[in-house]
Structure 1
């Protein structure tokens, strides 16, 4: 069973732990494990969308195998494979860590190899910060919530809690770093065109920001950077459509122009014959 911390939204796999026992998140929040929901009802098949009884093991419409699980936030029943909870809208594909209460190994710094990142709760966002190089690691859902709330209090609070360091050494270590959760190499990519920030991303777990990069990203988002990128992309698409339309009109005009061999199959045939005769003549001259 996967549960979500009500404080910072971190997720944990608590399979096998009895309901009613207390779990303690890394952010300090303590919460009881719920009883699984047992009521029956109709659920949507995650493959075809058909309405199927929760007790069914296969979809009546498409034959897909069905497995019932609980939403990590509201604990309502849902089929395995669904991306969002139909009751609360929660994104259920966000990965979970090992069980809480210290069972999981501490995250190490992927940049300078400091053995343990320090967890810090800011508003409802859990930041894992390196005390040596000042880099910050964010879970996937934490970064998404900051960006989604870029006009609100959450982003402003996180920005205030992560001020830019005035004198920062250049981050040392390999250009490509490994994910603190799964130890696989993270992908380096530009956060967004115009942001000036290259981030390290593990699609399954989270994003690493070197010192000063997270405040820069938040400021970029709060100042409308993402909206500006979207407008530029729309304009580029519109320009491409106009250019394609103009090219089609030009081609049609050339096709209909008098004397155009492409528009006159007879002229095209005669032109081909003349070219063939000319080539034969050149070959005859060269053979002499």
Structure 2
């Protein structure tokens, strides 16, 4: 894939051009999937409020993804993100730990200042949760309506699945929660899990309360 601004080849695991710094949008039309639910009316981008566009990325069947043309964010209705990952990325049966570590440790896609954004459907603030084991991606999720990904995060999740991230999820049986994600971030910053075990238990207790 080439940069839309300067034409240079993009890095394999990023949509940010290493030559000119432009953040590129995912080429949604190169993907395919199999659900056909489209919104009755344009919904506002959770970040900038711009009405999002519905893009049909289906091959033989319709599959609508909502995209903000201004910030390149994507909104997936319930179960659509998993359906797209299943359809767009070939199945893998092994965990490539070296590649997973590389994806997790590389500089993340630049994000807005950490804040909670509203669901474009109900308007309630969405929860920030980690997506899967070692993906390095924190998504905004409304449990009733869907998931919001910032520009570049879908590409990272596709690379994560190629590296066996979902296989690792199934093997561990773990489900990320806001408390788990915070523990993960603190652990990475401190370099030690032992010192944070008591904090992790406290956070999980708060999450279950």
Distance in 2 (alpha carbons) for counterparts of 1:193 and 1:208: 18
Deviation at 1:172, TM superposition (A): 3.9
CA contact (8 A) 1:111 1:173 kept: no
Matches within 5 A, 1:199-210: 199-210=139-150
The structure that has the greater radius of gyration is: 1
Q: How many residues were matched structurally?
A: 122
For structure 2, the residue ranges without an aligned partner over 5 or more in a row are 1-32, 92-108, 175-209
Deviation at 1:141, TM superposition (A): 2.8
Distance in 1 (alpha carbons) for counterparts of 2:133 and 2:113: 25
Which of 123, 133, 155 is 2:71 aligned to? Answer: 133
Matches within 5 A, 1:113-124: 113-114=49-50, 116-123=51-58, 124=62
Give the equivalent residue in structure 2 for 1:110. Answer: 46
Distance in 1 (alpha carbons) for counterparts of 2:41 and 2:120: 10
Give the equivalent residue in structure 1 for 2:192. Answer: none
Matches within 5 A, 1:202-221: 202-221=142-161
Give the equivalent residue in structure 2 for 1:51. Answer: none
Distance in 2 (alpha carbons) for counterparts of 1:229 and 1:131: 32
Residues 180 and 186 (structure 1), Cα distance of their counterparts in 2 relative to 1, 3 Å cut = same
Deviation at 1:181, TM superposition (A): 0.8
Give the equivalent residue in structure 2 for 1:145. Answer: 83
Residues 195 and 171 (structure 1), Cα distance of their counterparts in 2 relative to 1, 3 Å cut = closer
Distance in 2 (alpha carbons) for counterparts of 1:170 and 1:228: 26
Q: Spell out, residue by residue over 1:230-278, the C-alpha distance to the aligned partner (whole angstroms, 9 max, x if none).
A: 32459xxxxxxxxxxxxxxxxxxxxxxxxxxxxxxxxxxxxxxxxxxxx
The one of the two structures with greater contact order (alpha-carbon pairs below 8 A, sep at least 6) is 2
SS of 1:214's partner is helix
Matches within 5 A, 1:155-170: 170=110
Distance in 2 (alpha carbons) for counterparts of 1:217 and 1:106: 25
CA contact (8 A) 2:78 2:147 kept: yes
What root-mean-square deviation, in Å, do the aligned CA atoms of Structure 1 and Structure 2 show? Answer: 2.7
